[in-house]
Amino acid sequence: MSNLSVCFRDLACEWIERAPMSEQTTFKIGGPADGLLIVHDAASLQTAQQRLREEGVRAMLIGCGSNLLVADEGLRSVVIRFDSGHAAIRQIDKTVLRVDAGVPLAKLSRFAQQQGLSGLEFACGIPGSTGGAVYMNAGAYGGEMVGVLCDAEVLFPSGERRTLAAEELALSYRHSNLMQTAGFVLSATVALTPGDPEIIHRTMSELLTARREKQPLEYPSAGSFFKRPEGHFAGKLIDDCGLRGYRVGDAQISEKHAGFVINRGAATCEQIKQLARDVRTRVFEQFGVSLEPEVRLLGTSWDE
């Protein structure tokens, strides 16, 4: 992989050989990727993707790493992410924003509030990027990206770059068809509604307070670990099974919120996977409900 650094010398980017993925994810878990490429803009990403394709090297794009669990052995691929410091928000008209994929959702929601635009309050506490939010239709407190997204500019593995309407992304609960097409989100357009900045700010403050009070923010995690089963809440099912606080090594069901799996300091990917398997088995045996992880697993599978 050392020769790859030569491929990127003329690009606005930073190349890190054998980059620990534990430093790139909010779970603080994961072995090294073959390389980490931090790009400043969509043009650099497109050029880098083309060069990696010519070299026969697998590449994947991540956002803030807030919904990822990476294998302890690491990844045999190059991981790419945007430098959030170079990501921009552009106001197209009074209610429409064009947002680079690397913009953190918290920054985007604050910008919207300052402009007197409502619709992104739900996103103020989500520790992810705009691109990642489109990729998985992120949501919280009753709001989702599908409710504000107009379109997204996407770079496909073939090198084709297209702007897709929200309907073409087939957004559903924590899902888009980008998970099948492996497209990279470059930017997104969101349409919001006029609102009172003070009221929007108050709503955001209330949501952030609720998040601090109810979620285990003092520990590394990937947010809500399981998807919400139809007609149920994952956290309540887990709690009703008596699994609040259940541990496998340093992997633990949070005692503060049973819907969260936390890393108490030295948890491994294998410990998280074993804990998830134990929880899914217990919940299915007791309630007949199949829990599906919301967290995206890289470099391994739930069955290994």
Catalytic residues: 174, 224, 294
Look at the block and give the residue holding tokens 């008596």.
242
Report the chain's terminal Cα–Cα distance, integer Å.
27
The CA distance from 138 to 110, in Å, is 17
**Taking the CA atoms of the chain, what radius of gyration do you get in angstroms?**
19
User: Are β-strands 96-100 and 184-191 bridged in parallel, bridged antiparallel, or unpaired?
Assistant: antiparallel
* Residue 198, CB-side half-sphere exposure with 13 Å CA sphere: 0
**CA 118 to centroid of chain Cα atoms:** 22
The CA distance from 183 to 110, in Å, is 27
The CA distance from 22 to 72, in Å, is 9
The CA distance from 73 to 122, in Å, is 35
DSSP 151: E
User: Are β-strands 96-100 and 117-118 bridged in parallel, bridged antiparallel, or unpaired?
Assistant: unpaired
The CA distance from 53 to 61, in Å, is 14
